[in-house]
Chains A and B, each alone.
Chain A
Amino acid sequence: MSLLRTLRFRLRALFHRGQLDREMDEEMRFHLEMEAVEHARDGTSPDEARRRAAVAFGGRERIREEMRDVRGWMWLDSLLRDVRQSWRSLRRSPGFLLTAVAIVALGIGGNTFVFSLINGIFLRPLPFPHPEQLVDIDETAPKWNLRYAGIHYGDFEAWREHNETFSGMAHWRADEFSLATDDRSERVPGQRVTHDLADVLGIQPVLGRMFRADEEMRGDAKIALLGYHIWDEWFGRDPGVIGRTIVVNAEPREIIGVLPRTAVFPSRAAVWLPFTSTPTYWSGLAIGRLKPGVTVDQASADLLRIHRARISIAKENEITSPLVQPVLNRHLGEGRLIAFVLQGFVGILFLIACANVAGLMMARSLARAPEIGMRAALGASRLQIARQLTIESTLVASVGAGIGALLGHWLLHGWLSWLVHALPAWAQFSPDWRFVLVTIGLIMVCGAVGGMVPARHLLARGTYALVPGPSAFQATHPAARVSSLRFLVVGEIAMALVLLVSAGLLGRAFIRVNQIDPGFRTDHILTYGLFLPEARYKDGPTQLAFFQEHLERVRALPDVVSASASTVLPFTGTHQGSFFEPEGGIPGGPDAKKPVILTRLSLPGYFATMEIPMVAGRDFGEQDWHYKIIVNETLARLFWPGSDAVGKRMRSPGGNGPWLEVIGVARDVRHYGLETETRPGVYVPFVAMPKSGIGIVIRTKVDPASLAPTIRSLIRHQDPTLPIAGLASMEERIAQSLFVRRMYSGMTIAFAAIAVTMATAGLYGIIAYVVGRRAREFGIRTALGASARSILHLVVRDGAVLASIGIAAGLVAGLLAAHAISALLAGVSPFDPVVLVASCATIAILTLLACILPARRAMRVDPIAALRAE
């Protein structure tokens, strides 16, 4: 007896049932014939012999059953039989089937859509070997008001050399480059990376090789690695691309390799260039691979030790500290709450769908109570009846889930193309085992709820109560006293209210964020970036001359009101930080925070073009560098609290730089986003330190987008090979910054609307059903003298009681939920009266409607017809 043999037999019994049945029949037939022959020898006729043999043989069907029993898999046979029977029964009620399937499809469709997103972004591990070992490393400086300060290269070298907890570490910096070949020129995102990045990530170039250590920093080799999508789009996956030249920032570089498809983490870099040091000491990020078994805390402590040991040569290491965290935390931290909210919404939507299905199943099974009772009388146990109901509801749930999954899939792909720039480039959204598991789980929950709730009610008083008979003579039908139905009603009302409150608050928050004043006039502004390659524009004066000429040409255009430029523009995601000290030191003494200051170099007319008002003092008069600067309100409050900043002086820390005099205080501008805090900022005339890259702003008379072609030809005229970066209107940029918020606010409102509709429909269905079943009771009441109005009151009062309980429960739950999401509410209070009152009122009105319509039918019940009907 071996396990293998048993397994083989069992599998054969499962998959070759037909053949086994035929063999069994063959054997039986043979046996029967032999018996017939024997009986014939006794002298009986062949027919009589056969009949005797058959009798002696016994019930063939019973033997067949015995055989099948031995074979095993009886439970599967009976399950399949039940499923076929349920399917037949469901097909006979197409109305029920379609309604139930539609409800489940909506409930599960929403879930598969949201879960696919969450799975792709948060749950799936990164496509690198042992992704759990990858950590993000940065430096944090709370005293400078910087959570992520960037990494000093000297610190990085020290960490890399002296650590004991990492198997590899790499440093990289994101940047934008002007990429050009003979026929194409574009500004693309790219990265400067140290040679070990490929090793740390665990990837290999699909063509060519990775950088070597001697090619970075001072080596500054003129080579590049192409991103896979660039190789695909620009070179058509030509394997001969190695060795060819590509022009990066007007500098030719040799292509030495192509990156694999998975190298889109942390961003979709078009090129990797060897790492070089930058004038700004702290920049970029680092990624490290922990040795097996090492924790993040151990690694943190290890790096801190090395970091502090360098204080003697780098005194800033007292203020900065290494920050180590799992790599996805860095890139996804803020999104988690949003994902949680969305999943919560579709989860509650699913529960409402389940409740509706349970209600439908309950009504259906109550209508079939006589049939079920008959079955009970014939010997079905409670378990078997419950099983049959559960199989029916699971069948409905499966069909609904299939349609729902398709719906979710369709929604996902429709939205992905729209969401693509808000989503991480490395996220994959195809279904995987987690998705399948979750869908199966949802089917099982829906099936269980849809089957158990009616079963529990039907069987509460034993199977005997189902047999048709006595209940027909009861004045009040059992359906009216169904506590499960009441529970469903209250539950649906409460859940719908929770969603309505939450969605309402999020909607209100979105409106509020939209109304935040960015600090300048946002309409009719066109923005774009120009980045002059240093190979052709070698020094400050050349760069300045180019920009000045460009602005003159722009100002000459008829539709332009004014034009100017600045090195960092609001809502572009750019930042340039420096440190300054006011004369007399920062208030608060030497231990006070020394926050980083946003430093903008602007050309003349910047404030006028942007329409940023001056709170005190004046705009720049001339553009010569007279060491005069303008600060914003936050800086003025920080350095000179309580007094006028105009006329005060400040300079770079260290005591050696020249004093800079404040001539004006500008209104704060929400540079980093409508919801993000403003940093202290300073405006310096561009002539002081000309840079090769600048952001142009143009105030237009007409729609900014209509000016785009003119601008492009203007640039081409001035410098044909210079690409324009990010040509967009300011309003577009602001809308873009609100994109994620708009997306989830919209989604939650859509889910809430669907949920409320479903709950109302479910309510109406349940109440109408109960009223219908109580027709007899109403008939009796009317016959006994009750007025039509009192019947109406009866129904409405019952409904109102349930609604009140539901609303109360929903309100409490809703407030708790609102508190949980308060981080997303942008200052809107969870107790916001407008939202709360409106939500409760909406639910109350809908519930009232759901009660009144059936109640009016109840009023018109003819007592004689009702009494006779049963």
Chain B
Amino acid sequence: MLSCRFSRRSASPTMAKDKTDLLQGTLDLLILKALQRAGSTHGYGISVQLRAWSKEALQVDQGSLYPALYRLEERGWIDATWGTSENNRKAKFYTLTKAGLKQLAAETTNWRNVASAINAILEGT
């Protein structure tokens, strides 16, 4: 089982590096996709869904998730509103915006290009 942790590139040079460092751009892509597939959800819901869809392979570190959500909201790709969850607790719900949808498409294309480029390199002997 592959366990990846998403973490922000830290500014302080003395902080230790993690096992698998995925760039924050990829996390943004996954969050946007999650919101497209699941519609309106809260942060916990996103992390659960990502774990489920990746078949437990991807576990999003809360320290990366919430900062990423704030950043995406600031950039206008997702909108946030306070609502009540399924068990009647107050939670912040996120939805994809039109601009976010466009960004998702762009990032998906970008990821595909990068992935095929890397694949092409790895295929060669």
Contact = CB atoms under 8 A, between A and B. Distances in A.
A868 B31 CA distance: 68
B28 to A, nearest CB: 12
Most buried by B among A1, A62, A66: A66
Interface stretch (A20-28, A126-134, A358-366): A20-28
A9 B74 contact: yes
Contacts of B89: 30, 33
A24 B66 contact: yes
B70 A1 contact: no
A27 B67 contact: no
Interface in A1-46: 1-2, 5-6, 9, 23-24, 26-28, 30-31, 33-35, 37
Contacts of B91: 27, 30
A579 interface: no
Contacts, number: 66
A63 B61 CA distance: 10
Most buried by B among A35, A63, A69: A63
B99 A31 contact: no
B74 A5 contact: yes
Nearest to A24: B66
A54 to B, nearest CB: 11
A33 B88 CA distance: 12
Contacts of B87: 37
Contact of A58 (B14, B62, B73): B62
How extensive is the interface on chain B, given as a class?
Answer: 20 to 34
Interface in A56-85: 57-59, 62-63, 66-67, 69-71
Interface of A: 1-2, 5-6, 9, 23-24, 26-28, 30-31, 33-35, 37, 57-59, 62-63, 66-67, 69-71, 379
A31 B70 contact: no
Contacts of B90: 26, 30
B39 interface: no
B11 interface: yes
B98 interface: no
B74 A23 contact: no
Contacts of B14: 379
Contact of A70 (B44, B70, B77): B70
Contact of B66 (A5, A27, A37, A59): A27
B85 interface: yes
B89 to A, nearest CB: 6
Contacts of A58: 61-63
A26 B47 CA distance: 17
A58 B116 CA distance: 35
Contacts of A66: 8, 63-64, 66-67
Nearest to B75: A1
Most buried by A among B43, B64, B67, B77: B67
13 contacts: A1-B77, A1-B99, A2-B76, A5-B76, A23-B92, A27-B43, A27-B91, A27-B92, A30-B92, A31-B43, A34-B44, A58-B63, A70-B71
Contact of B62 (A2, A33, A57): A57
Contacts of B71: 70
Given A23-B92, A37-B87, A69-B11, A63 B44 contact: no
Contacts of B99: 1
A30 B44 contact: yes
Interface in B1-25: 8, 11, 14
A226 B40 CA distance: 75
Contact of A67 (B70, B77, B92): B70
Interface in B52-92: 61-64, 66-67, 70-71, 73-77, 85, 87, 89-92
Nearest to B59: A56
A100 B45 CA distance: 58
A30 B71 CA distance: 20
Contacts of B62: 28, 31, 57-58, 63
B76 A1 contact: yes
B85 to A, nearest CB: 7
